[in-house]
């Protein structure tokens, strides 16, 4: 959903999203300040406007800023200015075409009240966590992978790559599977099923042989699971016949999927590894084994960095480290590529795709669904921000549907699959020029630097006026300048110029 957004998103991103935010307590108008900021943080602009309501900060002395936890070591978040700018945006708010779209969906016929589940990981690893997630509004959980062999975890087992804000963009784990016994996990399933009969429990399982795959699926069904998910992809389980080793072998995928199906009448998803070149053959192997759907993607083999003092890769465990699974916003483009590949395969038509990999906001979720995912799983964003992100995920998706006039979420699924074509099919005979907004431009020259040293030397910088000028005869319409502009002062032309790129004209 596009809005004419005037507030400073970089300032919003300085908010640390407190538990029990003091800014809310300090507001003399009883506005839920922290909640409004959280909606803005997760791109739920409409939700933020609704929550701000009739609050008027024009003559307020901003006591909310005085109690910001960032001060006195850092300047507080400029809440008053953010809210004043947000009020200006109300007039540009996209009108809502319908009132109450249906955001329910399903996994192979198993109904979900909304498309969001916790993915199989530490965020869904015991009764209390799943209970709190269900109460928060999550439609289901894919429980941390159940196995019959013991787990022995390392410490520490996480590392991350940070961007320029307070959050990390990439996350590495060397975590293994559930450390509870099968019996203990089955009791958790039974308890959750009794207390939350409408919620979906996806039982992620991993066996050491065919008999274990069969028996684990059977036990999970008896204990109340709704769906079985075969973990063919954990990068931290590299012994022969486990985890990623299975996911890289068509023969093992087919064999163990078939073994799982023997033990259950429930829908079976095969969870795929991205540590391969082409996922489609692996998904087809799962289909031959009887899988009803595909879950993708699991984490990517990675080393996030090396400690320059100890000369050890991260995370460091007594002087050593291992390759681990990479997740978070940085992997989203890779995940979307695999989702698109699966959805565009005619041989996989009709199979459910449960998508995951870098989903943080409602917009991320919609992108996954447009490229073919019918349900969505999330872990890393929950590890950063908690179960509470479900509020803005649901709110944002519902608002998007209302603005588009779409009455049912399932109508989104696959809506963008046709836009991804082969390299030979892409049109290459037109150029779309960048358009410079001189009023918004701050004169930093970043576009000039990028074009000179990383583009096609198509921008001239006037050092007197501190404004860039496009050299049309040199521009090939790559739009690097638009991507590096820190204040979004460069747009793209509304129409393309038809000419071969080699035929440069003013």
What is the distance in angstroms between the CA of the first residue and the CA of the last residue of the chain?
35
Nearest Cα to Cα of residue 381 among 164, 138, 176: 138
For residues 39 and 117, what is the distance between their CA atoms, to the nearest angstrom? 20
For residues 461 and 445, what is the distance between their CA atoms, to the nearest angstrom? 7
> What is the separation of C-alpha 230 from the centre of its chain, rounded to a whole number of angstroms?
21
Contact in structure between 306 and 268 (CB atoms under 8 Å):
no
* Angle ∠(314,318,324) on CA atoms, nearest 5: 35
Q: 272: which DSSP letter?
A: P
Within 287-441, strands assigned E span: 293-296, 300-302, 306-307, 312-313, 324-327, 352-356, 375-378, 430-431, 434-436
Instruction: Give yes or no: 234 in active site.
Output: yes
Q: For residue 294, what are the β-bridge partners?
A: 270, 353
Q: 160: which DSSP letter?
A: E
Tokens of 378: 């999330």
Q: What are phi and psi of 118, to 5 degrees?
A: -75, 135
Q: For residue 376, what are the β-bridge partners?
A: 116, 355
Q: How far from 335 is each of 100, 342, 362, 367, CA to CA, in Å? A: 30, 11, 16, 11
For residues 418 and 420, what is the distance between their CA atoms, to the nearest angstrom? 5
Catalytic residue among 15, 234, 478, 481: 234
Using DSSP's 3-state secondary structure scheme, residue 268 falls into strand
Nearest Cα to Cα of residue 245 among 287, 296, 206: 206
Tokens of 480: 């690097």
For residues 181 and 128, what is the distance between their CA atoms, to the nearest angstrom? 17
Active site residues: 234
């Amino acid at each position: 959903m596009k809005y004419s957004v005037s507030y400073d998103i970089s300032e919003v991103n300085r908010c640390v999203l407190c538990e029990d935010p003091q800014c809310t307590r300090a507001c003399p108008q009883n506005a839920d300040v922290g909640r409004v900021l959280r909606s803005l943080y997760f791109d739920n602009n409409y939700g933020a406007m609704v929550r701000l309501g009739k609050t008027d900060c024009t003559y307020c002395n901003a006591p909310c800023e005085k109690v910001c936890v960032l001060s006195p070591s850092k300047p507080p978040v400029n809440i008053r200015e953010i809210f004043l700018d947000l009020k200006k945006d109300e007039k540009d708010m996209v009108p809502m075409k319908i009132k109450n779209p249906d955001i329910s969906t399903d996994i192979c016929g198993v109904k979900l009240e909304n498309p969001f589940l916790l993915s199989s990981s530490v965020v869904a690893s015991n009764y209390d966590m799943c209970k709190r997630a269900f109460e928060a509004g999550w439609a289901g959980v894919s429980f941390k992978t159940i196995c019959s062999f013991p787990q022995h975890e390392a410490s520490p087992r996480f590392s991350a790559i940070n961007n320029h804000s307070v959050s990390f963009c990439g996350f590495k784990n060397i975590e293994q599977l559930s450390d509870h016994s099968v019996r203990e996990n089955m009791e958790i399933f039974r308890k959750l099923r009794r207390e939350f009969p409408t919620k979906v429990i996806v039982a992620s399982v991993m066996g050491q042989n065919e008999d274990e795959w069969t028996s684990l699926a059977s036990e999970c069904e008896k204990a109340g699971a709704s769906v079985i998910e075969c973990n063919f992809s954990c990068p931290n389980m590299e012994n022969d016949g486990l985890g990623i080793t299975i996911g890289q072998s068509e023969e093992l995928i087919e064999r163990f999927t078939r073994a799982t199906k023997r033990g259950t009448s429930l829908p079976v998803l095969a969870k795929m590894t991205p540590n391969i070149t082409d996922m489609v053959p692996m998904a087809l192997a799962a289909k031959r084994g009887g899988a009803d759907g595909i879950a993708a993607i699991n984490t990517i083999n990675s080393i996030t960095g090396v400690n320059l003092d100890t000369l050890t890769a991260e995370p460091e465990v007594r002087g050593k480290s291992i390759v681990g699974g990479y997740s978070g916003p940085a992997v989203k483009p890779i995940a979307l590529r695999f989702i698109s590949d699966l959805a565009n395969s005619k041989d996989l038509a009709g199979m459910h795709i449960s998508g995951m990999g870098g989903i943080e906001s409602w917009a991320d979720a919609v992108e996954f669904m447009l490229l073919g995912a019918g349900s969505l799983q999330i872990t890393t964003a929950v590890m950063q921000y908690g179960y509470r992100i479900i509020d803005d995920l649901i709110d944002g998706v519902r608002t998007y549907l209302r603005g588009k006039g779409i009455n049912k979420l399932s109508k989104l699924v696959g809506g963008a699959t046709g836009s991804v074509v082969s390299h030979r099919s892409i049109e290459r005979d037109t150029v779309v020029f960048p358009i410079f907004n001189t009023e918004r431009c701050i004169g930093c020259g970043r576009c000039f630097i990028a074009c000179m040293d990383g583009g096609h030397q198509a921008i001239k910088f006037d050092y007197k006026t501190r404004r860039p000028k496009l050299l049309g005869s040199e521009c090939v319409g790559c739009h690097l300048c638009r991507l590096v502009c820190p204040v979004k002062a460069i747009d793209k032309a509304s129409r393309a110029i038809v000419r071969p790129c080699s035929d440069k004209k003013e």
